[in-house]
Amino acid sequence: RKEVEQDPGPFNVPEGATVAFNCTYSNSASQSFFWYRQDCRKEPKLLMSVYSSGNEDGRFTAQLNRASQYISLLIRDSKLSDSATYLCVWGLYNFNKFYFGSGTKLNVKP
Amino acid sequence: DAGITQSPRHKVTETGTPVTLRCHQTENHRYMYWYRQDPGHGLRLIHYSYGVKDTDKGEVSDGYSVSRSKTEDFLLTLESATSSQTSVYFCAISEGTSGKNIQYFGAGTRLSVL
């Protein structure tokens, strides 16, 4: 079983739509969670950390459900510039190791 | 942007030749990592370092070695390159303290082994 499972997509949505991605993780000892964004042929860049209480950054909302071992990312009012691949990541503090999902591709169309 | 520089950015080499990729950071972060990224597999950890001369294997370490003689430099060596090592290689750094273990990535190295 993979450490992190993501739907690869693509999710094709019109501008202005709301879209949500889920990601499941296998290790209940996971301690830190992140969403990264990766543009085509570029490096991953941190989008947001995910906290137990959930957190919001503008149009982006991240949630963590430890009981069901999944994290989610909600994007409201999608922009063309949101088109990218979104990577789900979890990490272990003690070992400073991180586990990446294969990514979910989002295409926002005019 | 995090101060991470990878070199070279692109390389084409032949099977059987040795290849060294360099990662240089200006952030003085303790942890450094080498990943490879292939379609359908996401980012897979090759090796990582938790200090000068302190390194450990990741999930896909066969055929790769690393060295870290200075805090700022982390080298990845393919002793004898094979076509299966054609990939995009990313270096990452992390401060390594609880609550600040976010990873930042270099721009990547595209390696083709013919």
pLDDT of residue A106 exceeding 90, the answer is: yes
A7: closest CA of chain B, how far (Å)? 11
Q: Which chain B positions have a beta carbon within 8 Å of A4's beta carbon?
A: 42
Q: pLDDT tens for residues B59-109? A: 999 999 999 999 999 999 999 999 999 999 999 999 866 666 789 999 999
- For A103, the closest chain B residue by CA position comes to B42
> B108 vs A42: CB contact, 8 Å cut-off?
yes
Q: pLDDT tens for residues B23-62? A: 999 999 999 999 999 987 889 999 999 999 999 999 999 9
Q: Which two tokens stand for residue B62?
A: 């066969």
Cα(B67)–Cα(A8) distance, rounded to whole angstroms? 34
> A93 vs B107: CB contact, 8 Å cut-off?
no
> A87 vs B105: CB contact, 8 Å cut-off?
no
- CA dihedral in degrees (B76, B82, B83, B87; nearest 10)? -10
Cα(A98)–Cα(A78) distance, rounded to whole angstroms? 28
